[in-house]
Structures are given as C-alpha cells and as structure tokens.
C-alpha cells in the first residue's frame, strides 16, 4: 500500500477528475500518484491500452467504465468521453480517467482537460511513462545514446481519418533527428518508410517494431527501412516503432528478452 501521508500525496476530492497515465503496460511502472488514485477513485474510465492487471488494483466497488478507442472498430467519440467525465464528476464522484502511456503524449489528455476546464470541473494531470520511452527500454533500446543521437523526434503515424498525417513535413521530419519514434503507425508503416526514404534516410537504417511493450506478450521485430517498404509484414497492435542507429544497441542490451528466455 502507498503511504499517502508520508509521501504528501494530495487528496482526491469528490467531484474532481484525475487524468492519469498508466504507462505502457507493466503495473510496476505506475507512479505513486497513479496507485493513490486507483485506491480512491469511485469511477475508473479506462482506455483499451490499460493492462487488466492495473485495473485489478482499483478500489473494491469502484465502477470500471470502458472508453477505449481502437482503429477500425466501433468506438466512443472523444466528445462523448469528455461529456461522460463531466457527468460523473458533477454527480460527486472521484473520477479517474486512466490512459495508456502518458495522457498528453498522443493521448488526447489535453482535449479532455480543456473540456473539464470549460465545464468548471477541478482536475489534475498525472504523467505516465510513454511507450516511446518505456517500450523502447524494455526492448533494450535507449531512446538516446551519446554515440548515436543527441535528439529524438516523436511522431504520430495516423491522422483522425486513419491515414498518414498530411499536415506534416516529412522531408523536415526525415532530416530533423537521427532517431524517430512512431506511435500508432502500424497500418501506415510502409507508406511512412517510403516517404522517409524519398526524403533521404538510408535504406539500411535499422527499424525496431515493439508490439505489446512491457507486457509478457511483448515481441520485437528488427528490420530496415528498405525491407519495411518491400515487405511490411503483420504488426500486432499496439506497437511503437523506432527508426535509427540506436536500434543496434539492442544486440547487447536486450535485458527483458534475456529474462524471458531464462538467460541469467
């Protein structure tokens, strides 16, 4: 149990909403504030990417309210989810909006916070470990390394219509950082890889595709930009994708894979 008083954690007041990042999957990556909220929330409105082991940490008797959005499947709209949070808070509940990763890294937490602010609902944003950092670490890939990259760029792989974001300058992205981390790019990966190649990235540049990161079902596929264009293959969702020479460090740093293979 979290010693809330010793840590000086804030009260979770009735009628308020906490927007909390649950991290990429492993319950051990939850913050103290996230555990504090789970122990006190009356309602937990959670995303599709929240691990079931994390939901089991909710207070007994708390309402677990699914509000997940998955590409190509019937899903609640963002305005509907925001309206649900407002209604629950106005009824006097402690409302925990639990989101995979970090709520404000391609998680639409900012949109929900703006809706709460407009409705006069008190809220708190609790950051979580985003998959673009935590998922890479569990694949043995540090997101930065002094010998490979002094910059990294995080990019979403699809727009609201599910297509490659048209408003992005892919030539600038290709030149912008030695390491690119792509979120929600599985369906559009071949298209994105082709755009990066046309903008000057190397065809032999390594790519790692990390599916179900930080969970027992984690899998990692290593390829190159050129191979991805020619034979993208099937990518189990959810997945985070990293492009750059930092991927080569995985050969020595795959600690998670070694544990699951029983290698001391």
Which residue in 47, 51, 102, 254 is the catalytic one? Answer: 47
Residues 6+ apart with CB under 8 A from 254: 139, 140, 220
Digitized pLDDT (tens) for each residue of the chain, 264 residues in all: 678 889 999 999 999 999 999 999 999 999 999 999 999 999 999 999 999 999 999 999 999 999 976 555 567 888 999 999 999 999 999 999 999 999 999 999 999 999 999 999 999 999 999 999 999 999 999 999 999 999 999 999 988 777 888 889 999 999 999 999 999 999 999 999 999 999 999 999 999 999 999 999 999 999 999 999 887 677 888 999 999 999 999 999 999 988 876 544
Nearest by Cα to 215 from 140, 138, 102: 138
Helices first, then strands: H and E counts in the chain: 11, 10
Respond yes or no: is residue 51 known to be catalytic: no
Question: Which residues belong to CATH 3.40.1010.10 in the chain?
Answer: 4-129
Residues 6+ apart with CB under 8 A from 261: none
Cα separation, 2 vs 7, in Å, equals 8
Please check whether residue 232 is in contact with residue 252, taking contact to mean a CB–CB distance below 8 angstroms: no
Fold of 132-260: 3.30.950
Half-sphere exposure of 230 (CA within 13 A, CB side): 7
Question: Which residues belong to CATH 3.30.950.10 in the chain?
Answer: 132-260
Spell out the CATH class of 4-129: alpha beta
Respond yes or no: is residue 153 known to be catalytic: no
Respond yes or no: is residue 47 known to be catalytic: yes
Which residue in 42, 51, 153, 184 is the catalytic one? Answer: 184
């Amino acid at each position: 149990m979290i010693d809330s008083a010793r840590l000086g954690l804030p009260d979770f007041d009735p009628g308020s909403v906490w927007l909390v990042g649950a991290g990429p999957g492993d319950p051990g990556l939850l913050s103290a504030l996230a555990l504090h909220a789970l122990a006190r929330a009356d309602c937990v409105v959670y995303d599709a990417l929240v691990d079931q082991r994390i939901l089991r940490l909710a207070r007994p008797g708390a309402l677990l309210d699914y509000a997940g959005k998955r590409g190509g499947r019937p899903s609640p709209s963002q305005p509907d989810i925001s309206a649900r949070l407002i209604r629950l808070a106005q009824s006097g509940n402690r409302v925990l909006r639990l989101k995979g990763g970090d709520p404000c890294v391609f998680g639409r937490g900012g949109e929900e916070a703006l809706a709460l602010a407009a409705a006069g609902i008190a809220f708190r944003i609790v950051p979580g470990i985003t998959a673009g950092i935590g998922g890479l670490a569990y694949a043995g890939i540090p997101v930065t390394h002094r010998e490979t990259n002094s910059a990294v760029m995080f990019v979403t792989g699809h727009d609201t219509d599910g297509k490659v974001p048209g408003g992005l300058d892919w030539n600038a992205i290709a030149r912008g950082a030695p390491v690119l981390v792509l979120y929600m790019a599985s369906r559009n990966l071949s298209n994105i890889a082709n755009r990066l190649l046309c903008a000057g990235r190397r065809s032999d540049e390594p790519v790692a595709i990390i599916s179900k990161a930080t969970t027992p079902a984690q899998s990692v596929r290593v390829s190159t930009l050129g191979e991805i264009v020619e034979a993208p293959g099937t990518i189990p969702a959810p997945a985070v994708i990293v492009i750059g020479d930092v991927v080569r460090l995985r050969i020595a740093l795959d600690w998670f894979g070694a544990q699951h293979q029983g290698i001391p």
